[in-house]
Amino acid sequence: MPPRRRTRAFVGVVFAVCALWGSTLLWRRSEAVEEKRTVVLTAYETQGLRPAWLRQIVEQYASDDYADLIDAILLVWNAPEEEPPSDLPAKVQVIRAAANSLNNRWLLTPEYAQPGPVIVLDNDLLLSKSGIRCLQAVQRDHPDRLIGPYVRRREDAIYVLDELMSRSSPYNFVLPRALIGHTELLDLYRNPELAQLHAYVDEQEAHCDDLLLNLAVSNTTGVAPLRVALPPSSVRDFATYCSPLDRAQSAGLADQTDRWKYRTECLQHLLSQAGFSTESSPEDEDVALCSQDGESYDLVSEVGLPRWRSMSTARAIDLCPELVPERDLAAESRLGLGRELVEYCPELDPGTTEWIDALIDKPLCGDGGAIQDPHLLASAKHQCGAWCMWDLRVRGKTGWRLTGSCFERFEGGHPECDKWFYQRPHMHL
C-alpha cells in the first residue's frame, strides 16, 4: 500500500474505533442519566384534617391517571414516634425520619430520588395533571432554576410577606408549597459547608429551610428562581379554603408580626454566612404562564390577579363541605363593588366577610356623608381584612381606621394603628 493510502486507512480505522467508542459512551451516558420524575411529600400529622388530605393526595398521585407524569412518590414521614399512615398505595415509598426536622425533605430526598426533576409539595394542596405537566414543561427548559407558583421577595435584607398577586412584582424566593427542581439543584442543600445552617434552620422560629434552599441554589447558578402561573383550576388548596373553617386547626396560626420578624432575622443571618451575600439572591419578574392543559407556556412580564386566582377554583364547598356553615352556601353571590372586592380578598372566614360588608356599607366619617372613597377602596384591595388601612399612595403612616360606624381618616400615625404599620404592603399606587 502506498503511504498515503495507508495513512488514510489508518485514519479510517481510528475514526471507526473512535465512533464506536463514542457511541458506547453515549449509550452508557444515556443509560446513566435516565431521568425519573419524583414527587416528594412531607408529613407528620396524625390528628386533625391533614391525615385525610394526605391520603387523598397520595392516592391521586399514585393513581393510574397520573402514571404518565409521575415515576416515583416519596413520603418523608417526620414523626419518629408515630406510625406512618397504613395501606398507602404501593407506589408510595415512605422514608421514616429519625427526627422531625425541616431539613429532612432536602437532606433525605436526594438519597432516594433518582436523578431527574423532583416536585416538592406541601401536604395541604393537590395539583391536577395539568398543574404537574406545567411544572415539568417549564422545568425541562430551565433545568438550572427552582420553579414554582408561590414566591416572595426581599427589600435589601428585609423579608416581604406580601403574596405578590395583586400586582406584578419582582421576586427572589420560590416557596416549597409547590416547587420543582432537578436533583442536582436540590443536592446543593446538602453542601457540608451548610451544616451549621441546617442546625440553625431547625432552631430558628421562621422555618426558613426554604430560604436556605433558594440561597444555596442561586449562589451557585447565579440566577433567580422562576415563577410559574399554573393552569386554571389546577390547584385544590385545602390549606387556604378549609383551614380557616376549622377552629382547632387555625388556633395555632403564627402571629404575622412575629413571622415577619423571624423571617427577616433568618434572612439576615443566612446572608451573613457561608459566603452568601445579596448577590446569592437575585430577583426576576418574569412569569411562565401555562396553557390550560399545562403542555406549553409563555414567558410574560405581567399576570393579572384574576389569572392568579384562577389557579385554584375549588372552594371550601368542594374541598371540605363538612366544614362549611349553612349560611355560606349562599356566598359567591356578591355584585358590583362586592364582587370586585372578593376577587382581591376571597371570603375565607367570617372576619373577611364582615370586613367586606363594612367597606360596602360604611361611609367615611365626617362631612362626606355616605360616600365611597375610591382611594380607600383602591388601597383596601391590597390589605384584605385590615381594620387599619394604609393609604398606598403615600409612604408615611397615613390611612383610614374602621371605627364602629365609619372609616376615619388619619395622617401621620394613629395610636391604634401604628403597631400594624409593618403590614403595609411594599407597594405604591
Ligand X SMILES: *[C@@H]1O[C@H](CO)[C@@H](O)[C@H](O)[C@H]1NC(C)=O
The binding site for ligand X (CB under 6 A) comprises: 191, 193-194, 216, 219-220, 274-276, 280
Q: Name the residue nearer to ligand X (CB basis): 175 or 213.
A: 213
- Using the structure block, give the residue that is written with the C-alpha cell 355616605: 370
Q: Name the residue nearer to ligand X (CB basis): 190 or 261.
A: 190
Q: Name the residue nearer to ligand X (CB basis): 161 or 274.
A: 274
Q: Cα dist. 429→152, 286, 356, 425 in Å?
A: 20, 21, 21, 11
**CB 282 to ligand X: min, Å:** 12
E strand residue ranges, 144-259: 147-148, 151-155, 158-160, 173-174, 178-182, 226-229, 235-237
Q: Are 221 and 147 in contact (CB under 8 A)?
A: no
Residue sitting closest to ligand X (CB): 275
- SS3 call for 330: helix
Give the residue among 369, 371, 372, 428 at the shortest CA–CA distance from 398.
428
Q: Name the residue nearer to ligand X (CB basis): 127 or 194.
A: 194
Cell of 211: 430560604
- SS3 call for 367: coil
**CB 197 to ligand X: min, Å:** 8
DSSP state at residue 75: E
**CB 270 to ligand X: min, Å:** 10
**CB 216 to ligand X: min, Å:** 6
**CB 366 to ligand X: min, Å:** 56
- Using the structure block, give the residue that is written with the C-alpha cell 380557616: 244
DSSP state at residue 335: -
Q: Cα dist. 270→79, 92, 205, 259, 344 in Å?
A: 27, 34, 14, 16, 33
Q: Are 152 and 175 in contact (CB under 8 A)?
A: yes
User: Burial, 305: exposed, middle or buried (Cβ in 10 Å; 0-12, 13-18, 19+)?
Assistant: middle
**CB 190 to ligand X: min, Å:** 11
Q: How many CB atoms lie within 10 A of CB 14?
A: 10
Q: Name the residue nearer to ligand X (CB basis): 136 or 214.
A: 214
**CB 404 to ligand X: min, Å:** 54
Measured CA to CA, the distance from residue 294 to residue 131 in angstroms comes to 6
Q: Name the residue nearer to ligand X (CB basis): 165 or 185.
A: 185
Q: Are 299 and 286 in contact (CB under 8 A)?
A: yes
User: Burial, 300: exposed, middle or buried (Cβ in 10 Å; 0-12, 13-18, 19+)?
Assistant: middle
**CB 188 to ligand X: min, Å:** 7
Q: Name the residue nearer to ligand X (CB basis): 188 or 345.
A: 188
Q: Name the residue nearer to ligand X (CB basis): 38 or 219.
A: 219
**CB 141 to ligand X: min, Å:** 25
Q: Name the residue nearer to ligand X (CB basis): 219 or 383.
A: 219
Q: Name the residue nearer to ligand X (CB basis): 213 or 229.
A: 213
**CB 268 to ligand X: min, Å:** 17
Q: Cα dist. 83→44, 96, 97, 126, 308 in Å?
A: 9, 9, 11, 23, 38
